[in-house]
Amino acid sequence: MSSLLYDAQGPRAKRRNVLFTAVFVAALAALVWWVYTSLDDKGQLEWSLWKPFFTGTEAWSTYIWPGLQNTLKAAALAMVIALPLGAVLGIARLSDHVWIRVPASVVVEFFRAIPVLVLMIFGVALYAKYTNISSDDRPLYAVVTGLVLYNAAVLAEIVRAGILALPKGQAEAAVAIGLRKNQVMRLVLLPQSVTAMLPAIVSQLVVIVKDTALGGAVLTFPELLSSANTMIGYYGNTIASFTVVAVIFIAVNFSLTSFASWLEGRLRRGKKSTGAVLGADAVAELAAPGDHEDLQKAN
Amino acid sequence: MFDFLEGYDVLGAFWTTVQLTLLAAVGSLVWGTLLAAMRVGPVPLMRGFGTVYVNIVRNIPLTVIILFTSLGLNNTLGISLGSSVIDTINFRLAVLGLVAYTSAFVCEALRSGINTVPVGQAEAARAIGLSFSQVLRLVVLPQAFRSSVGPLTNVLIALTKNTTVAAAIGVAEAATLMKTMVENEAQLIPISAVFALGFVILTLPTGLILGWVGKKVAVKR
């Protein structure tokens, strides 16, 4: 196989590859063996500890499913609330008026620079202090608030990058046929950029799902990770519970990631679109404070 | 006005945040570079391992990983990373978890840098008779590293923010202290403002300066 970094391989390189493979297999086997023996030493491989997940539905219906429901509920709520906020902020950052553009930029940069957990801790204290939301509901409100504040800022950047990714001719043609600024945005740019930024929005959903776990670990929000904690207390199966929870998270997020890249490929190949697509990878870049003109140019 | 700060070591907490960030940054740069080397290398098994590692780790919440280092590695398997003081153990476990997680993103940042180099560059280098190591050393890697600065900056900023997750296992960093303070003190808004400002000071200049450097050094195409 030939690539950017190396040529098609001759006999010597092939022999060296076999050697590398052998050494790597040995190292990997040693690692697996070490993990196996240390788990076995502590009795973590006992069937009784794994049994709850494979026989009967108690573990699933009492702990995992309610936890997963809360995880998905918080993620969905956060996305649904953050999307319109993000769209407004993103469009505001593109405004011709300085007094709209600058405050929107400040808000976006501020919330992108702060960890979600700090926003969640702020949220839970805020609701405890100034509202009479019951203490059972407070964690959910705080988690969603933290996620919304942070993700609205990131989504604002996605919206802005999505609009800027469109070919210039779209806005120019719209102005040329006499549309007003608001019509250009509403009738021409936004509808096209929505498809352009769909992959990026789906990948941001992965970030949201992952961040809900913070609520479980720090704010007593009963989501999937904290249900693992409860199971560990009940069954005493730390390794088994963590494995199952991790697998569920991987399954949910991997399907979202795959969906995003499928969508991206489809949109890039599509005949009807302008070909401007904000890739699923763009979110990593847009989540960091600072200007990312290169991203818009790249498209 | 700032008397609520008395009795709390805010600077100390942020210093822990900085320490977590720096140690995890160095660790994940090393492990992430190794992963990237595996993923772009010619050995199929290593490529497979790199791909599987990155895809698994990227899709697990960091909180799950950090909590696992404490409950799984420490409590259950008895791994204490060469210390008997609980605070030190938790700090080291948090660094370990952050390295395991962040290196997947470092790997992807480096790979994206390599991907920006057009194949024609390597082909031209081979055509003028450069050897394998010369192609990498003189042509491909210099361009790849320069294009990686921008993505790596974003990883570093995300890492700075992610150190707060160490609060889940009780490491005395900024978010842990903030939680204690908002629970015990009345001044919610000023306390939050102090901590928000602390993180803005840590992340915004990094983003602006390294972002500018990244743009300067990146190869214009």
Banded pLDDT at A292 (limits 50, 70, 90): low
B-chain CB neighbours of A4 within 8 Å are 114, 117, 119, 121-122, 140
A-chain CB neighbours of B13 within 8 Å are none
Q: Which of B153, B105, B211 is nearest to A292 (CA)?
A: B211
**Shortest distance, CA A271 to any CA of chain B (angstroms):** 26
- Residues listed for chain B: 221
CA distances from A102 to A106, A244, B155 (A): 6, 46, 26
Please report, for chain A, how many H helices and E strands are present, in that order: 14, 0
Give chain B's domain count.
1
B-chain CB neighbours of A216 within 8 Å are 63
Residue B213 forms part of a structural domain: yes
Query: Residue B78: which CATH number?
Result: 1.10.3720.10
Contact predicate A202/A83, CB 8 Å: no
CB contact under 8 A, B60 and A249: yes
The one-letter amino acid at A226: S
CA distances from B204 to A278, A291, B6, B153 (A): 24, 11, 27, 11
Res. A296: pLDDT tops 50: no
CA distance B59 to B44: 23
CB contact under 8 A, B78 and A113: no
Structure-derived torsion over alpha carbons of residues A95, A99, A105, A110, reported in degrees to the nearest 10: -160
Residue B1 forms part of a structural domain: no
- Give the DSSP letter of residue B173: S
pLDDT tens-digit map of B122-163:
889 889 988 877 888 898 888 888 888 888 999 999 999 999
Mean pLDDT computed over A227-238: 86
φ/ψ region of A134 (left if φ > 0, alpha if ψ in -120 to 50, else beta) reads beta
For chain A, which domains are there?
A: 52-298 (1.10.3720.10)
Residue B37 forms part of a structural domain: yes
CB contact under 8 A, B64 and A249: yes
Output the six-digit token pair for B154. 């974003």
CA distance B168 to A54: 29
Determine the straight-line distance between the first and last CA of chain A, rounded to whole angstroms: 30
Residue B65 forms part of a structural domain: yes
Among residues of chain A, what percentage have pLDDT more than 90?
50
Mean pLDDT computed over A3-31: 88
Determine the straight-line distance between the first and last CA of chain B, rounded to whole angstroms: 53
Task: Name residue, tokens 């991790």.
Answer: A246
CA distances from A208 to A27, A62, A217, B11, B106 (A): 36, 24, 15, 30, 20
Name which of A2, A38, A117 to mutate to probe chain B: the one with the most chain B Cβ atoms within 10 A of its Cβ: A117
Give the domain extent around B111: 8-217
CA distance B153 to B210: 6
Which stretches of chain B score pLDDT less than 50? none
Residue B2 forms part of a structural domain: no
When the pLDDT of each residue in chain A is averaged and rounded to a whole number, the result is 87
